[in-house]
Chains A and B, each alone.
Chain A
Amino acid sequence: MSGEEKVVLHGMWASPYAKRVEIALKLKGIPYEYVEEDLLNGKSEALLKHNPVHQKVPVLVHNGKPVIESCIILEYIDETWKSSGHALFPQEDTYRRARVRFWADFIQRQLLEKFIVTITAVGEAREEAIKELRKNMELLEEGLRVNFFPEGIPQYHFDDQKNVRFLDITMCAFFGLHKAQSEFVRTTEIIDLQRTPLVFSWVESLKEVPVVKEVLPPHDEVVNLLRGFRQNAVGSSPQV
């Protein structure tokens, strides 16, 4: 770490929110110290001190000052380390910035949080969540095409990691694991090549970006984790 800069990231190996921050820090080449938090058995004193309101990861502590919430941390990183790596947000085009924010919020509330419901809910609530998740993936397909990739995604586009930016990070930190996640939604793939080809190719190519590959947890560990959550939700029933 150079000079006065001290960057500490409090995260957890399976937290997609923490993964977003790791991807951003690595893309921008910002050195940092990583602290793995054991969220079930004992959060560190530092975490509780820095995030008293939510007591969650990720927390980025920059020179002793805490920044909380993954999307807010990404904006902070982009604004603070302007000359490191590439810009994560559109710079001049305020309308594009607004669209990026809108779709990041959509990914969070209408996709990620709905997926969580498919794991933690049972019966009709779960069926409803599965239906909504599918419908919302189709809305993302349309939104992605209209706003960001009207000509589709060029081959080798993400080989240049300057093309990996805020919205890409927001999506792939969680849905990069869609194959593992799909094992728990029973009737369908959550990202279906047939129904949402643009979203599928977007996520599949982002998964291959070296920094993303390095940061995302292995497929089997994610499957085990999700199985654990699912079992807690349904009790002792083996049905998934």
Chain B
Amino acid sequence: MADVKLLGTWPSPFSYRVILALKLKGIDYEYIEQDLSNKSPLLLQSNPVYKKIPVLIHGGNPISESMTILQYIDESWPETHPLLPADPYGRAVARFWIKFAEEKLSSASMIFRTSGEEQGKAVRETVEVMEILEEHAFGSLKEKGFFGGEKVNMVDLAYGVMGRWFDAIEECSGVKVIDPLKFPLFCGWAERFNEAPVIRDNLPGRKELVDFYKRRREMMLAAAAAASN
């Protein structure tokens, strides 16, 4: 059995997508925390194009970009906990929502990196994305469960970051974006996701996340203020 290593940083939601996929599939792996301010030779050699985490190294072969890693994991360990539907149409729909997550969730991180007018813009963009998701993506779930039916699948993992991470970002940025009255389907799904088997035991703690993002936000705003002086 070839060895599996994961290069990541805590508490990157992109790292966590991979951790959760590996845990759901019951795959043993060695986690190696990276210092992005002083990148390791292993990281630079494994992801020479972007020099970013996460990187999965399987039998010496490096794979990067979190959703590409998840597809690789699903195809390489197909026997347990499939992460995509079996039929081509179901897979195409799943891939569409995965791509949407890859393209549209970055405005959310801008909420905690900025303040004032810029933050207001990031909030508006995020709300627009949420409205599309609530109607077209989470709308198809109704009370059912997950994008994977009764079990969590790759689409749930793509959006899973929005649950606890969003919550932490909202708390430390002082803005509320996810109104449960406006986004009831999303909120119901997020609660179910956080409580799902395996997921619930492998998410970062809420308090730790809030503390982390509070410190990060203070640093970023201080740096921005210094830069504009």
Chain A contacts to B: CB under 8 angstroms: 52-53, 62, 65, 67-69, 72-73, 75-76, 79-80, 94-95, 97-99, 101-102, 105-106, 139, 143
Contact = CB atoms under 8 A, between A and B. Distances in A.
A65 B68 CA distance: 25
Contacts of B228: none
Interface residues of B, number: 22
Contact of B100 (A53, A65, A95, A106): A53
Q: Secondary structure of the B side of the interface?
A: helix
Nearest to A101: B68
B49 A98 contact: no
Contact of A102 (B68, B95, B99, B136): B68
Contacts, number: 57
B68 A75 contact: no
B12 interface: no
Contacts of A75: 91-92, 95
A205 B58 CA distance: 34
B136 A76 contact: no
A95 B72 contact: yes
Interface stretch (B34-42, B59-67, B111-119, B206-214): B59-67
7 contacts: A68-B96, A72-B92, A75-B95, A76-B88, A76-B89, A98-B72, A102-B63
Q: Secondary structure of the A side of the interface?
A: helix
B136 A53 contact: yes
Contacts of B33: none
B99 A65 contact: no
A101 to B, nearest CB: 5
